[in-house]
């Protein structure tokens, strides 16, 4: 049941900045989705649906000029969940392929979890998706086999219905961004060719090897272990792996021998988005006109948050990067693979569009500290 004490919710936000500096004495536990029992899975899904049932918030303010973000105006009749997605749409050019990627998304998942806890009584302990389990046969994986209407994530979409999800708890999941449509998943084994076709800007960064790459070949368990072990305190190398499949394609020259293995991995993080297709890959609904696909409305899908909750711990305190995307050319991108100047630092504010309480990069640098306060199991 979706109910909330308005006073307690406002009080929580009023006290939030004070709690940032508190000690982490009772951390929540993040567990892989498939280790949850049915009731636990149903509770998380119920909290998500409560956010969908809630009205949009007047607090959300788009801060990026629409000529840059290339998104439609905010829909004031949309839901709170649609507002969550809209933050990501508005800020997309400020939170990808640059230093803000990891801090923003860490803050973003945490903020959504807090909204679920404070607004609807979710017990906390945000689950995550370990997609290395699914890599050997992504299409037939058990991940896509749970059709339970209360606790199941559902399966692949129907190609005859614009890849609308047909079963599970999200079969009737209505979304407003970029226009009204049902949630969609479209298995796409070799997605990078489609990316290159969709954008001349992207095409210049993708070579022939990447065009032929099967996305699930990039996120097997041994590959992820190598990325983590090889970059325990180096955010530039580590972030190239989970954030930026474009940079992974660029950094392939002999002058960068220490980064060539990153190109081989082709970016596990982006590949999970791409192979899942539909809303998690930012493809355009069939009924949407003048639509530019991309990473904008990825958070339409609840899987976005399970995906982003799966974050390596050993690189959690590393930070380096700029505040501007370096897409001028391949040389410039190779010089600034995690963002060009002005450079960010741990005192830089995380972009929020005024929807959730703000934080600085240093507040999310350690997930076992007072602000985030969670551990993995």
Q: How far apart are CA 281 and CA 221, in angstroms?
A: 22
Q: Which residues contact 140 (CB under 8 A, 6 or more apart)?
A: none
Place of tokens 């009205």: 55
The residues pairing with 128 across neighbouring beta strands, listed in sequence order, are: 32
Q: Which residues contact 225 (CB under 8 A, 6 or more apart)?
A: none
- H/E run at residue 104: helix 101-120
**135 CB burial (10 A radius; 0-12, 13-18, 19+):** buried
Q: Where are the beta strands (DSSP E) in 251-321?
A: none
Q: Which residues contact 274 (CB under 8 A, 6 or more apart)?
A: 188, 191, 192, 195, 215, 245, 281
Cβ atoms < 10 Å from Cβ of 359:
22
CB 275 within 8 A of CB 216: yes
Cβ atoms < 10 Å from Cβ of 81:
26
The whole-number pLDDT of residue 224 equals 77
Q: How far apart are CA 152 and CA 69, in angstroms?
A: 34
- Is the peptide bond prior to 342 cis by the omega test (within 30 degrees of 0)? yes
Place of tokens 């095409």: 203
Polymer length of the chain: 377
The whole-number pLDDT of residue 15 equals 39
CB 366 within 8 A of CB 105: no
Q: Which residue ranges of the chain lie beneath pLDDT 50? A: 4-21, 241-266
CB 338 within 8 A of CB 239: yes
CA-closest candidate to residue 63, choices 261, 321, 355: 355
- pLDDT above 90 covers what percent of the chain? 57
Distances in Å between the Cα of 2 and the Cα atoms of 42, 48, 117, 253 are 14, 10, 12, 54
- H/E run at residue 30: strand 28-30
Q: Which residues contact 161 (CB under 8 A, 6 or more apart)?
A: none
Supply the angle between the helices 38-53 and 101-120 in degrees, to the nearest 10: 90
> For the chain, how are helix, strand and coil distributed in percent, rounded to 5?
45, 5, 50
The whole-number pLDDT of residue 350 equals 98
């Amino acid at each position: 049941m979706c109910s909330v004490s308005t006073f307690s919710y406002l009080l929580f936000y009023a006290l939030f900045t004070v709690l940032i500096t508190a000690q982490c004495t009772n951390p929540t536990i993040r567990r892989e989705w498939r280790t949850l029992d049915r009731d636990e899975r149903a509770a998380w899904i119920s909290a998500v649906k409560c956010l969908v049932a809630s009205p949009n918030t007047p607090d959300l303010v788009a801060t990026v000029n629409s000529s840059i973000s290339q998104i439609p105006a905010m829909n004031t009749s949309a839901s709170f969940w649609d507002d969550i997605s809209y933050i990501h749409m508005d800020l997309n050019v400020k939170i990808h392929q640059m230093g803000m990627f990891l801090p923003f998304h860490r803050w973003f998942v945490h903020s959504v979890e807090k909204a679920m806890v404070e607004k609807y009584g979710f017990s906390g302990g945000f689950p995550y998706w370990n997609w290395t389990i699914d890599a050997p046969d992504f299409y037939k994986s058990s991940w896509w086999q749970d059709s339970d209407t209360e606790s199941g994530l559902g399966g692949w979409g129907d190609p005859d219905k614009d890849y609308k999800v047909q079963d599970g708890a999200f079969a009737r999941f209505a979304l407003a961004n970029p226009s009204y449509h049902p949630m969609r998943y479209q298995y796409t084994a070799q997605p990078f060719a489609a990316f290159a076709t969709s954008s001349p800007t992207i095409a210049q960064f993708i070579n022939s090897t990447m065009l032929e790459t099967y996305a699930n070949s990039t996120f097997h368990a041994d590959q992820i272990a190598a990325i983590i072990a090889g970059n325990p305190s180096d955010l530039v190398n580590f972030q190239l792996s989970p954030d930026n499949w474009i940079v992974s394609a660029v950094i392939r020259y002999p002058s960068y021998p220490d980064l060539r293995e990153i190109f081989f991995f082709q970016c596990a993080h982006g590949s999970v988005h791409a192979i899942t297709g539909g809303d998690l890959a930012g493809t355009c609904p069939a009924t949407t006109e003048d639509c530019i696909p991309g990473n904008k409305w990825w958070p339409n899908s609840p899987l976005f948050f399970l995906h982003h909750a799966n974050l390596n711990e050993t690189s959690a305190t590393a930070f380096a990067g700029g505040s501007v995307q370096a897409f001028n050319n391949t040389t410039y991108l190779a010089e600034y693979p995690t963002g060009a100047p002005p450079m960010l630092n741990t005192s830089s504010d995380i972009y929020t569009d005024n929807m959730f309480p703000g934080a600085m990069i240093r507040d999310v640098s350690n997930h076992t500290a007072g602000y985030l306060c969670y551990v993995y199991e």
